[in-house]
Structure 1
């Protein structure tokens, strides 16, 4: 704890300096799972990338005290040593505890435990004036108000330095069942039935086509693998990708059940980044076979893929959006995606009814739900993951994303803000609660920090604005799909930082 306190004191001093000089600053974590264009100036950042330690794990209280830059795979590795698990584990190993708390992070257990921030019971924060405070869900009015405000605040109320979070007892395996579905309506209906049945610890779904999909349920268990319950793994290079395996089972048109080691289940989408890796094979004209997936496994993990995505500029060519929709409006949205975009697979993930308050301080939704208006909607949500190429001109790309945002607003949905945002500022504040949010920022001296809108609004990529021969070459390379892809791979393998700006000599 002494090392932690020293690090927090250093951060506090730097924040106080920026506050006294009225200098706007941003918090630098060292990595990102966002697809937005972003870069950081080293002279105006608060670097928290070294806050990556687990301070304690308590089996007696079922809690862990964790610094914000601890990634999911490290947290899971350490908690499982004492027979415990985080209730909500984001599917990519490098997603961090801090990102899950102040961002928006849901997974297949979120129908039961809520978003990741709902598993946090206490937070330590350096406010924008440098004060170090603790806030908890059970604190007094002031303390609880700050704690609630931190959800989905994206670092705009202060610098998160530590959280205390709940844990649950683990089991060796997840008993995974694949339920075939044959339509959008069937998929949504089955998803809701399985969440209400009360038997599953995990529920999500994948749509492979309009008439083909799988709802996948999981239960923690200590059962032993057998001929009836075969063992299935997804983490080794020779294992099949999860969604490819699920698709093969759906073709049998009967429910299939397997035992999957806990770690393999929790990070089942890491290899291939769900199915985004499939598009890399198509882009480089490499056959998408089990052999090539084995041979190229190193490049197909999310850590490498996110680095390559940013370096290549492909965020300008792909729709990468997660949307939480009122459950009764989900079918209408998926039908729109089918007709307008034709993108498959699609991911479905049920969410608890308190999820909206964790998504960037939105206003309540009182529009049409299930075809009728009936006050403010307070029911469950379903996350739809829409990820795939948008092969068109930049004008068409922007128009398509704008149409998607219009449809999301019409149906009462909210976007995960890791994705690119194309709203105008006026549109943004029609969705998000400017009055309440700004009052929180004033109360906690955070008006010198960027707002959420400042952080997520779409920007021209730095390379596009760069002048001279270097800028020209980068723009030409970006427009050449093969060259930009190779450049992305080169940068990912080489490593280094792809977020911080390089200081000019």
Structure 2
């Protein structure tokens, strides 16, 4: 049976599972993994059947495009494209992020300074809408242009045609330290503009702020030149990638290991489970050194409240989860990080420059303007106010003041007026009314703020 026929059968199962839901039942996907950090108020009685929608349908190595099912993980997508010496133009850093999830949500990585976000390289989509129909949509269509950052409120992508780019076998890294945020900002501006630094080509760009006065940019260059002696670095074993940023000036990885360099330790968040301690790491199976395993452990803690119990026994104040990615204009990066150090005090944080070439209505970054994604993931002891999210609310206000935007994969606290201003609420509602006339899909505001 052909891949196309199998795909149509899978879409048929999706349609049937949607039709089987009673009016008013919440609509969600039956997925085994998730990269969301929004607690939900209630569980759906049954998720939509997405079995058979997790693969790569076709790769055109001449046109450098791929037709991919919406629930295909980037781990599987990259495995298929690398066989042709190709990768998606933006590969989010966690293996189990799905292509459809990265487009209806937001993904980012080190190629975003030149390729934008994952939806910037989508050529065409088939979207399963709230009307129970599959709509093929392309750039310029309301549904296509409003879909990024809609998080299922407009439907679910079941097939996407995306652009790919050619890559060699290796990636050479340079970790460049900056003591001053102004100097770091000037370097980012130069690299985004010229795609070069110090005379060398830059194909990937991200960084880490370890402490005030200790900032690093990691400059990645695609190369066919392998190691002259020894082997490429392996950060799936005993070594931890983010620590190498401080300790090594240069490094060499295979392209595959580079793409997943952050996944093994979930950036630095594996430390919460002791996995970065050498003796624990030796005992912790390599197959469990993955972001999805840590995510499931976090979910288990949320259900059982283990950390909260330990804090109470030790007399420590209650924790607030501060798990966010925000985009601030490059010109405001120093202001934001200085404020963040004084008011939040969480380090390290991830820095990832990006620039988009067109305006997307539901996540309206200004085309041609350089932003820096600042990612921070952890907890802060704040006391009894923790359930009200005082630090998250403060971050939202500051990002808004600086002309930035916040991704909605985690908790949000905006009032409706501010939310609609930031995410073009009236236009989103109009598009939703057209493709979901019975209002069966949860609105973006209810998903992001009310956690429905």
TM-score, normalisation: structure 2: 0.87
Over 3 Å counting, the alpha-carbon distance change for 1:377 and 1:223 in structure 2 is closer
In the comparison of the two structures, how many residue pairs are matched? 427
The 5 A counterparts of 1:61-76 are 61-76=63-78
- Residue 325 of structure 1 contacts residue 413 of structure 1 at CA under 8 Å; is this kept in 2? yes
Structure 1 gaps, min length 5: 250-255, 365-375, 461-505
Deviations 1:412-471 (A, max 9, x none): 2211111111223333223221211111112223532111111111559xxxxxxxxxxx
- Residue 29 of structure 2 contacts residue 48 of structure 2 at CA under 8 Å; is this kept in 1? yes
Structure 2 gaps, min length 5: 196-200, 309-318
Partner of 2:369: 379
The 5 A counterparts of 1:67-86 are 67-86=69-88
Partner of 1:352: 355
Rounded Cα–Cα distance in structure 1 between residues aligned with 2:13 and 2:280? 48
Partner of 1:295: 283
The one of 420, 442, 459 aligned to 2:411: 420
Over 3 Å counting, the alpha-carbon distance change for 1:234 and 1:337 in structure 2 is farther
Partner of 2:236: 236
CA-atom RMSD in angstroms:
2.5
Over 3 Å counting, the alpha-carbon distance change for 1:289 and 1:308 in structure 2 is closer
Deviations 1:4-25 (A, max 9, x none): 1011122224435559x46552
Over 3 Å counting, the alpha-carbon distance change for 1:458 and 1:187 in structure 2 is farther
User: Secondary structure in 1 aligned to 2:70?
Assistant: coil
Rounded Cα–Cα distance in structure 1 between residues aligned with 2:278 and 2:166? 35
The one of 393, 399, 409 aligned to 2:390: 399
Deviations 1:68-89 (A, max 9, x none): 1111111111111122111111
Partner of 1:408: 399
Moved more, 423-432 or 105-114: 423-432
Deviations 1:319-355 (A, max 9, x none): 1111001111111111111111221111110011448
Deviations 1:156-189 (A, max 9, x none): 1122211111111121001111111112222222
The one of 52, 60, 66 aligned to 2:62: 60
The 5 A counterparts of 1:33-432 are 33-38=35-40, 41-43=43-45, 45-137=47-139, 144-198=141-195, 199-226=201-228, 231-238=231-238, 240-249=239-248, 256-281=249-274, 289-296=277-284, 298=286, 299-313=288-302, 317-354=320-357, 357=360, 361-362=362-363, 379-396=369-386, 398-432=389-423
Relative to total residues, which structure has the larger helix share, 1 or 2?
A: 1
Report the Cα offset of residue 93 of structure 1: 0.7
Rounded Cα–Cα distance in structure 1 between residues aligned with 2:449 and 2:292? 24
Report the Cα offset of residue 377 of structure 1: 8.3
TM-score, normalisation: structure 1: 0.79
User: Secondary structure in 2 aligned to 1:401?
Assistant: helix
Report the Cα offset of residue 39 of structure 1: 6.7
Report the Cα offset of residue 195 of structure 1: 2.3
- Residue 13 of structure 2 contacts residue 49 of structure 2 at CA under 8 Å; is this kept in 1? no
Rounded Cα–Cα distance in structure 2 between residues aligned with 1:430 and 1:146? 19
Rounded Cα–Cα distance in structure 2 between residues aligned with 1:309 and 1:133? 36
- Residue 235 of structure 2 contacts residue 241 of structure 2 at CA under 8 Å; is this kept in 1? no
Over 3 Å counting, the alpha-carbon distance change for 1:402 and 1:61 in structure 2 is same
Moved more, 272-281 or 202-211: 272-281
